[in-house]
Amino acid sequence: MRELSATAVQRAVAAMVIDANCRISPQVLQQMERCRAEEEQPLAASILGRIIENDRLAAERCVPMCQDTGMAVFRVQLGQELHITGGSLEAAIQEGVRQGYREGYLRKSIVADPVFHRDNTGDNTPAVIYYELTEGDRLTLTFAPKGFGSENMSAVRMLKPADGAEGVKAFVLDTVHHAGPNPCPPIVVGVGIGGTFEKCAQLSKFALMRELGSSHPQPAYRDMEQELLRAINEMDIGPAGLGGHTSALAVHIETFPTHIAGLPVAVNICCHAYRHGTVTL
């Protein structure tokens, strides 16, 4: 059985959280450049220009592109032939978050209790961690710092099977329309369809960890992604919500089998700071 030290995990996590917060992916920059070139409204084009300039500046200076450096969310895929030594995997990830948020001068945005004692934990922990056991002897960690301007605009609905594709599309568009300028458009829309109440929400989060503009493997869902993206960009929300054709950069759908009685759908919205990192150890 292969061994991996908890210290190595902590180090990798600390480096990844800083990098993901400061460096946007080239795909996001390229997509925003394309949208800027196509924008007909001068204000929309100028706002996209400011966002692009901001993201370049952040990478150059290694400072976060947004002050909301998010709640740390991890998808952990742990090979069953891998043994973590010298401490627990959970503690190593949480310690890596603590270290990265401190050393990277990232904002600490987590309160210890949601209702009665909203005191800042001071180190941005705890992170939200989803574990999966996989084949092999590798550990893959995917990280997304989730800002709450867009998280707050997300929604889950338990549709009826009879609602079908039209019901799914209407719910996604309704959620995006209702969000309007609040989630810092142009947004990326993660849609989870199927499973149970919590499974579809998790799928919608994982949809926001995909490379920008990547497609669902099935043609029917790929077409739905494209159709929804076109419909959202016709809503005239625009960059910062001040009008224009660039309301979303992508729609990503993830699916899972579901119950004969159900059609759960979750819409998780991400701002234009579409940040994440992946490392395999």
Cβ–Cβ < 8 Å for 235, 223: no
Residue number, 144 or 168, with CB nearest to another protein: 144
Angle between helix axes 26-38 and 42-61 (nearest 10 degrees) is 160
Q: How many other C-beta atoms are found inside a 10 Å radius of the C-beta of residue 85? A: 10
- Cβ contacts of residue 182 below 8 Å, gap of 6+? 149, 150, 152, 153, 241
Residue number, 106 or 201, with CB nearest to another protein: 106
Question: CA–CA separation, 66 vs 30, rounded Å?
Answer: 19
Residue 253 parent element (H or E): strand 248-258
The answer, yes or no, to whether the previous bond of 186 is cis (omega within 30 of 0) is yes
> What is the smallest separation between the CB atom of 273 and another protein, expressed in angstroms?
5
263: amino acid identity, one letter:
L
Residue number, 55 or 254, with CB nearest to another protein: 55
Distance of CA 108 to the CA centre of its chain: 18
Residue number, 65 or 127, with CB nearest to another protein: 65
Nearest CA-CA partner of 131 in 89, 171, 94: 89
Residue number, 80 or 120, with CB nearest to another protein: 120
> What is the smallest separation between the CB atom of 236 and another protein, expressed in angstroms?
12
> What is the smallest separation between the CB atom of 147 and another protein, expressed in angstroms?
8
> What is the smallest separation between the CB atom of 28 and another protein, expressed in angstroms?
11
> What is the smallest separation between the CB atom of 169 and another protein, expressed in angstroms?
24
Q: Which residues bind another protein (CB under 8 A)?
A: 43, 47, 50-51, 53-54, 57-58, 61, 63-69, 105-109, 118, 120, 122, 149, 152, 180-182, 184, 239-243, 271-273
Q: What angle do CA 27, 71, 62 make, to 5 degrees?
A: 50
> What is the smallest separation between the CB atom of 221 and another protein, expressed in angstroms?
28
Residue number, 67 or 226, with CB nearest to another protein: 67
Token code pair at residue 227: 């159709």
